Amino acid sequence: MKWAGVLSIFSLICFLNTSFAQQPEEKTKSLEEEFQKALEQAPSAPGPTPQQPGPASPQPGTQTGSPPLGTGGSTATGLSRAFNPAISINGLFLGSYTSWEPGAEAEVRPGKEITTGVHIQEVEAQFSAFVDPYLRADVILALPEGKGVEVEEGYISTLNIPSVILRIGKLHDPFGKHNLLHTHQFPFIDPPLINERIFGEEGLTEIGVDVSYLLKLPWFSEVRLDLLNGDNEVLFNSPKGSDLAYLAHFKNLWDLSDATTLELGESYAVGKNEFEEISQAAGVDLTLKWRPPQRALYRAFIWQTEYLFAKKDPADQTFDKVGGLYTLVQYQFARRWWIQGRYDLLGIPEAEGEGKTYRVSSLLAFVPTEFSAFRVQYNYLKPEDEEGIHQVLAQVNFTIGSHPAHQY
């Protein structure tokens, strides 16, 4: 199976190289000319020349600040910023309360890790730029809880290959819907129980190669195949470096009307765990989105449901097999206001000795602009044979800089 996966990825890479080489010469020449033109537009001379007495006074109505990124303006120091990456920083500040007071030996399971206090949930910095006409690079550095710096994502993507994108590096792997999101993109302040149970707090984020291919169908249909290093601490993490993991994701999206889309996805991942035995995970997700074009700023509705299942051989302290789902709705009832609800169920099937756990959540969000949001969330968490836990979360979410658009 491992060699079959390696051969499949190798074949795809060969196919990409062939496709790259077979691009029409005119298109390649055009890309090179555009890139050369951008290079020529980047001024190399710092400041005014002796024949130029200096910059003229700004005309009324003209911008007096620094030129926009990517326009090729020089600075007083003579350093061109024409090829600087787009930079953005996102901050998440969190206030939280929980009615659960764990004892010294209490086991903290998904949903229980929330503590009472005021915290830095995460700070994230993103750098994005086109390397040349053929590659784009993205680097996302994260400071979870404001402590330490880690590379959350760092990868290059190919450009201008018809129907195909090749990504190499570390990225959020395309398993279902939620796993693709950064913390500030979560629909709710905390992640679904089943995602945290199967993949851990960091989700399935691996170093590897990702190939996506857009099928030629009347609707949007995409296949993604991944070759991963297999070091997820819960599901894989084989001591042998040669034990890789493999992932496949199939996504279809239909336009039901001008306002409504329906998305269906299926995911599967397999690899070796710390016992050098097989671990597997599978999932299915369904998303309905509605946004009327005439009132796109004021009304929207999203219903998203995801079921995940994982199995480990042999069973260990994490689980033998476990499954669960979440379903959520988000409704925008005014230009800057959203109200949301979510239901989590962990334990279909139950992990040995754990029983079922369910959680009900509600959230109210005030979103002044795409760069800031204020959200308040309430959770009622009920593990089997334990008292229910009440949790209240309040989050401030802000972004500065040039932030790329999120995935649809």
Once rounded to an integer, what is the mean pLDDT over residues 165-186? Answer: 96
- Whether 377 has a pLDDT exceeding 90, the answer reads yes
Predicted confidence (pLDDT) per residue in 183-204, tens digit: 999 999 999 999 999 999 889 9
The whole-angstrom distance between residue 370's C-alpha and the CA centroid of its chain comes to 17
**Model confidence at 27: pLDDT above 80:** no
How far lies 311's CA from each of 177, 245, 271, 319, in Å? 20, 14, 11, 8
From CA 201, how far away is CA 183, in angstroms rounded? Answer: 11
CB 341 within 8 A of CB 362: yes
Examine the pLDDT at 258 and tell me if it is beyond 50: yes
pLDDT for res 23: 47
The pair of three-digit structure tokens given for residue 70, joined into one six-digit string? 């990517």
Q: Which of 147, 149, 154, 148 is nearest to 126 (CA)?
A: 154
- What pTM value is reported for the model? 0.79
Distances (CA, A) of 75 to 39, 57, 72, 112, 123: 17, 16, 10, 52, 29
Q: What is the pLDDT of residue 63?
A: 36
Rg of the chain, C-alpha, whole Å: 24
Give the pLDDT confidence score for residue 319 in this predicted structure: 84
Q: Calculate mean pLDDT across residues 170-195.
A: 96
Q: Is pLDDT at 143 greater than 60 in this prediction? A: yes
Report the chain's mean pLDDT, rounded to a whole number.
Answer: 84
Q: Which whole number is the average pLDDT over 331-353? A: 95
Which pLDDT band, with edges at 50, 70 and 90, does 44 fall under? very low
Q: Flag whether pLDDT at 37 surpasses 80.
A: no
Which of 3 and 274 is assigned the larger pLDDT?
A: 274
User: pLDDT band at 344, cuts 50/70/90?
Assistant: very high
